[in-house]
Chain A
């Protein structure tokens, strides 16, 4: 069985903001080839590192975002670098470009029209901080500043006395990458019917703006602005782990009686029947707080879920490595790193797709590991590769 996207050849020419898109495509079977400078992509310098030894082939950050891809090292600043990139691009049917709009234009990879003159099916996806139009088009930005503009930061934090909080791990970039694969899949499905490719443009700023649930409706419809606050009903368990214990009364009239039953096992009571909502919430809060001190986080989680409540311990990502349910679903994917004689579990796909399972064809690439083979696939023979090497376009 091959992946659902096994027919896609994707050339990835992105900075750190676009790498998650390539990962999402690689896991679905696309042949994703990453273009990086001869010294390695900048994201290879981001820690943590294997054995805490900084090295371009040991960045766990890079591994996380680039598993399953191949890599070709081309110096785009060398005299023939861009010409080489354009030649390589011709054998790909998707170009995934990412970075500041001005940089993309300078690299010439955005020019879908030219690429399509030779190959009408070519799709070019550009992920930029603000899109390619508008007054902020050329502004420098990072994930932090884009999350600030998007609204998530203003709504995260401990309260009015303390600063708005970033959301960690590059959520603006990752959100934009998910939209990028939507746009790309739209273009692919259109191409399935028409045979023609097109350009896809993604704004990270807009992506980060789209993820704040009720906040924009609340302002538009109710004239109210959400401020940062800690979500309610999170309590410390007996083993010192915070637990999220939402009580969704909208699930139905059975919810409150079931909560009372759960609490009664420990002799806890909450005067909820016939109480006004505010009184009821306060009583529930007090009882749950006591309940959590009596149990481990896992006990609260399991007991709550058994009773039908959407409760969960506040885990760290790595604490899910032991989760039996995720193992049942084959979520963690073993990937062999032959040169290290080790295997690592990588976070797998966002869903289980039996007819075209998520997999990673290879571990993350070493710096420029596939340069010779990718150039050969582009019809650039050994003699010509030597010439490019002499000119400094490849290492």
Chain B
């Protein structure tokens, strides 16, 4: 296997939290060198958020009594969400940007970079003295990717987001729930991932554009716009048919009005809070399911023979199927139904994915990587593979997420040619913290 597709690309990375960090992690997986600029004076909040990472031999941290304060005291390297968003062999450079000497080092790093990423509020980098014009002066073909909540252009550019904010606005929160009830929404930040992945798409397409034209540019990413197209054709329905999506029969819960599919839902299985998802794509799937259930009398009811009939009697259909599934173990039942040709799957939680899912295991989805302080932990691979190029969650250096400042000295020596004496002096002066 040769090098990663982004080998030789350097990204100076000022992103924090999930959404920005996810974008550069993806590029690190593709082999880019990510220089994550951080500081102990203003640490990334996800370095201090639970779940906390136990050291080898320690019990799971749920029982270890770690808190944000103790984790800070231990050096900022035990925040578990940080591990999820900072794969790709990112390097960490500790730099105090409040100090002009810190800003000077940042500028010198930018001069060597292909891409600069940040996820500050709109205008913050400008106020730090690095507007796009200045970045371009330092590095004429720099690709500057800003990832603020609402983007830099537009009247609400000062608005801020977290994943749930963006999900609420875009229509994604509304989609999850039952008709006539409050929105259930997503209990996690889906748009930290998807916003970040589309930020990565911005970086990748801008690199190709630079390859073709020699031009860099400022790409203005927001967390809102990646989400809106993910919420279906409701905006077109409104324009075409005057129909609003906010209405009594939305959202459809687990059911599928478009395209009409039934059964289409989650059904309780034997065990504690265990479920199976079953989807019949058409009448042929329903026939397969009917036979797999042992051809019960109720299922022969002609109402159930067509998808229109099954949709019309879906409450009863779901109740009947649920009575049947309740006596079965979810994985064995999914094996049986899929063997019969019916789409079905255990509803898996995190433990199931880590401990049980045979497909993830067979494909080495979780890859153990060395973290300098906490030892080997499995991290998630990208869901795509290239046949000829290296893609790896440890990046080119095959390492887990960085400890804060772990690579400061190495980067300043290798990239900027600083000597140990200079680095020691800067450290002493509080610039490299």
Whether A and B are associated in the same complex: the answer reads: yes
Interface residues of A (CB under 8 A from B): 4-5, 7, 20, 23-24, 28, 45-48, 50-52, 60-61, 63-64, 112, 130-131, 133-136, 139-142, 144-158, 160, 162-171, 174-176, 178-183, 185-190, 192, 196, 198-207, 209-231, 234, 236, 242-244, 246, 248, 250, 305, 308-321, 324-326, 328-329, 331-332, 344-356
In the assembled complex, B209 has its CB within 8 A of some CB on chain A = yes
Instruction: Output the nearest chain A residue to B82 by Cβ-Cβ distance.
Output: A217
The A-B contact count (CB < 8 A) is 532
Q: B interface, how many residues as a size bin? A: 35 or more
Segment from B102-110, B164-172, B301-309 that makes contact with A: B164-172
For A312, list chain B residues within 8 Å (CB).
Answer: 161, 164-166, 168-169
Instruction: Output the nearest chain B residue to A355 by Cβ-Cβ distance.
Output: B217
Q: Which of A134, A144, A185, A221 contacts B256 (CB 8 A)?
A: A144
Q: Please, could you name 24 A-B residue pairs with CB atoms under 8 Å apart, sorted by A? A: A48-B236, A51-B240, A136-B359, A149-B345, A157-B184, A169-B232, A171-B190, A185-B201, A186-B391, A214-B84, A230-B182, A230-B183, A243-B168, A244-B164, A244-B168, A310-B164, A313-B169, A315-B171, A329-B151, A350-B225, A351-B221, A352-B220, A353-B205, A353-B217
For A156, list chain B residues within 8 Å (CB).
Answer: 176, 184-187
For A234, list chain B residues within 8 Å (CB).
Answer: 182-183, 185
* Residue from B49, B162, B358 with most neighbouring chain A CB atoms (10 Å): B162
Interface string of B166-205 (1 = CB under 8 A from A): 1111111111111001111111111011100111111011
A149 to B334, CA, bound (A): 11
- The answer to whether A219 touches B384, judged by C-beta atoms less than 8 angstroms apart, is no
In the assembled complex, B386 has its CB within 8 A of some CB on chain A = yes
Report the minimal beta-carbon distance from B271 to chain A, rounded to whole angstroms. 13
Q: Which of A133, A182, A192 contacts B384 (CB 8 A)?
A: A182
- Known A48-B237, A185-B208; 7 more pairs at CB < 8 Å: A20-B229, A166-B266, A182-B30, A310-B159, A329-B153, A331-B225, A356-B217
Q: Which of B51, B359, B383 contacts A222 (CB 8 A)?
A: B51
A316 to B231, CA, bound (A): 8
Report the minimal beta-carbon distance from B334 to chain A, rounded to whole angstroms. 8
A216 to B357, CA, bound (A): 13
A254 to B107, CA, bound (A): 30
In the assembled complex, B92 has its CB within 8 A of some CB on chain A = no
B residues 131-151 in Cβ contact with A at 8 Å: 149-151
Q: Is the interface of A mostly helix, strand, loop or mixed?
A: mixed
For A130, list chain B residues within 8 Å (CB).
Answer: 359
Segment from B33-41, B242-250, B409-417, B422-430 that makes contact with A: B242-250
Report the minimal beta-carbon distance from B291 to chain A, rounded to whole angstroms. 15
In the assembled complex, B363 has its CB within 8 A of some CB on chain A = yes
- The answer to whether B233 touches A63, judged by C-beta atoms less than 8 angstroms apart, is yes
Instruction: Output the nearest chain A residue to B175 by Cβ-Cβ distance.
Output: A168
Q: Which of B84, B164, B385 contacts A246 (CB 8 A)?
A: B164
- The answer to whether B385 touches A200, judged by C-beta atoms less than 8 angstroms apart, is yes
Please judge, given known A-B contacts A140-B338, A165-B177, A350-B198, whether A135 and B385 are in contact too, CB under 8 Å. Answer: no
Instruction: Output the nearest chain B residue to A154 by Cβ-Cβ distance.
Output: B349
- The answer to whether B350 touches A186, judged by C-beta atoms less than 8 angstroms apart, is no
- The answer to whether B380 touches A61, judged by C-beta atoms less than 8 angstroms apart, is no
Q: Which of B190, B258, B276 contacts A47 (CB 8 A)?
A: B258
Q: Which of A131, A169, A187 contacts B175 (CB 8 A)?
A: A169
- The answer to whether B254 touches A318, judged by C-beta atoms less than 8 angstroms apart, is no
- The answer to whether A198 touches B168, judged by C-beta atoms less than 8 angstroms apart, is no
In the assembled complex, B344 has its CB within 8 A of some CB on chain A = yes
Q: Which of A198, A215, A350, A351 contacts B387 (CB 8 A)?
A: A198
For B261, list chain A residues within 8 Å (CB).
Answer: 142
- The answer to whether B251 touches A325, judged by C-beta atoms less than 8 angstroms apart, is no
